[in-house]
Amino acid sequence: MHVFVINSGSSSIKYQLISMPEEQVICSGMVDRIGLANSRVDYKAKSALGEVSRSEEFPVADHSEGLKAVAKLLTDAEIGVISDPDQVAVVGHRVVHGGEKFASTQLISPEVKSKIKELFPLAPLHNPANFLGIEVAEQIFSKAKQVAVFDTAFHQTQPEVAYRMAIPNEFYEKHGIRNYGFHGTSHKYVSERAIEYLKQSNLKLITIHLGNGCSMAAVQDGKCMDTSMGLGPMNGLIMGTRAGDIDQSVIFHLVNQLGYSLSEVNALLNKKSGMLGLTGFSDMRDIQAQISQGNQEAHLAYELYAYRIKKYIGSFTAVMNGLDAVIFTGGVGENDRMTRHLVCEQMEYLGIQLDPLKNEGRKQAIQEIQGKDSDVKLLVISTNEELEIAKQCFGLLGN
Ligand SMILES: Nc1ncnc2c1ncn2[C@@H]1O[C@H](COP(=O)(O)OP(=O)(O)O)[C@@H](O)[C@H]1O
Ligand SMILES: CC(=O)OP(=O)(O)O
Ligand SMILES: [Mg+2]
């Protein structure tokens, strides 16, 4: 069964065509910088001739054009992997916010679509792009079943003490204001890999997903017990461009004293803060380069970033009354040894001790980086949200 997985972001589309249940990636790629003059379409496929790839730069006005460009590559006479879009049986969509309505993967119907639309205000950077991806895919892959896999679903096992907020009850009861949590597909995927690898299911795990957006989850016996993001994907950890936890008074101060409008505050906290606000760069590789040039602000930003993660490790360990393993994942978690080093230093009290040599380089898909005296396993595991989405689709429709 061919599953085409689409992960639509605000300005990008990541995609993979995966043959299930073999879990074989037939092709993969990304459309980046949608809406700009220098958009880029990347495509990589395995064919009888070996690996083929193509990268093109041309203006891609919107998600519809982006997906059409991808469909053209999929069916290209020379480097394509299918002859007709109808060969795709299922399209799996990452949908960031599923609210309380969706605790599991859904076959997309008009009702599911209208619910996803209702949730736009809760994830304004993500759900509209996800919705657009669904509408365009329905046109291009018109014979395929469309499936939604929600970032929030894995976190629906959180107990009430973790997800309720101390505001009047009616805001929860009438308006669904509570903590939801995001990146659930990634937290689920890496926690399951860790459970398989450690050959034990009753484990207390902390999964740390560090990409552009960053979040952590406390996972006990395979179930999410708490997570660092809340109503929307803004709070918790410091991220590429998002501030994460801040004192709410900052918002009132910005509005009442500094004359900001609410939409300016929103843009400030979502798009201009985090590592970008602290250093002028959102990509950790650029910030690393600044540190090597002696930039003190860049160094301080790294310390803030790691300090926030340490605080969540402490609180999640308290929540679970113990800790067996910490898992680093996402572009930063998988590649940035300095982040892992700063997070793990001076954590002996919690049984965490990093081996600096093992932390240096990545040799295995699942790499252990703890020292010999560490009570807690420290694992670096590559996330694969696309594969997890394909698995969910196969689970729903495979038989
Ligand atoms: N070799 C590396 N060293 C340090 N950071 C890296 C490296 N490669 C990628 N990153 C970081 O990973 C981030 C992207 O992570 P990713 O999980 O792909 O993000 P997302 O899926 O949220 O777009 C980049 O912005 C960069 O900060
Ligand atoms: C939910 C979220 O923050 O997603 P991303 O990291 O893809 O921006
Ligand atoms: Mg991501």
| Stretch 173-186: mean pLDDT | 95
| Stretch 91-99: mean pLDDT | 96
pLDDT for the residue numbered 165: 98
Q: What is the pTM of this model?
A: 0.94
Nearest ligand to the CA of 10 is: 2
pLDDT for the residue numbered 139: 94
385 annotated as a binding-site residue = yes
pLDDT for the residue numbered 329: 97
For the chain, percent of residues with pLDDT exceeding 90 = 89
Neighbours of 75 (CB within 10 A): 14
Report the separation in Å between the CA atom of 297 and the middle of ligand 1, taken as the mean of its atom positions. Answer: 20
Q: Atom 3 (ligand 2): residue with closest C-alpha?
A: 213
Name the class of domain 2-150.
Answer: alpha beta
**Residue 269, amino acid:** L
| Stretch 138-151: mean pLDDT | 96
Please tell me the distance from the alpha carbon of residue 295 to that of residue 300, in angstroms, as a whole number. 9
**Residue 149, amino acid:** V
| Domain range annotation of the chain | 2-150, 200-381
pLDDT for the residue numbered 130: 93
pLDDT for the residue numbered 286: 94
Q: Which fold has domain 200-381?
A: Nucleotidyltransferase; domain 5 (3.30.420)
pLDDT for the residue numbered 12: 86
Please tell me the distance from the alpha carbon of residue 147 to that of residue 54, in angstroms, as a whole number. 28
pLDDT for the residue numbered 11: 80
Residue 365: pLDDT over 90: no
Average pLDDT, the chain: 95
Report the separation in Å between the CA atom of 385 and the middle of ligand 3, taken as the mean of its atom positions. Answer: 8
**227-262 residue pLDDT tens:** 999 999 999 999 999 999 999 999 999 999 999 999
264-273, 322-331, 357-366: the lowest-pLDDT one: 357-366
Bridge partners of residue 210, in order along the sequence: 214
359 annotated as a binding-site residue = no
Show the tokens assigned to 357: 């040599």
**44-63 residue pLDDT tens:** 998 777 899 999 999 999 98
Q: Atom 8 (ligand 2): residue with closest C-alpha?
A: 213
358 annotated as a binding-site residue = no
Domains 2-150 and 200-381 share a fold: yes
pLDDT for the residue numbered 38: 87
Local confidence band at 305 (pLDDT 50, 70, 90 cut-offs) = very high
Local confidence band at 121 (pLDDT 50, 70, 90 cut-offs) = confident
Residue 6: pLDDT over 90: yes
| Stretch 259-285: mean pLDDT | 95
Local confidence band at 363 (pLDDT 50, 70, 90 cut-offs) = confident
Local confidence band at 33 (pLDDT 50, 70, 90 cut-offs) = confident
Q: Atom 2 (ligand 1): residue with closest C-alpha?
A: 335
Residue 75: pLDDT over 80: yes
| Stretch 78-87: mean pLDDT | 92
- Alpha helical stretches, state H, the chain: 63-74, 110-118, 127-140, 160-163, 169-175, 184-198, 249-256, 262-271, 274-279, 284-292, 296-320, 330-335, 337-344, 356-360, 385-397
**Residue 133, amino acid:** G
Local confidence band at 166 (pLDDT 50, 70, 90 cut-offs) = very high
Residues with catalytic roles: 151
Q: Which of 183, 209, 276 to mutate to test the pocket of ligand 2 (most atoms within 8 A of CB)?
A: 183
For the chain, percent of residues with pLDDT exceeding 70 = 100
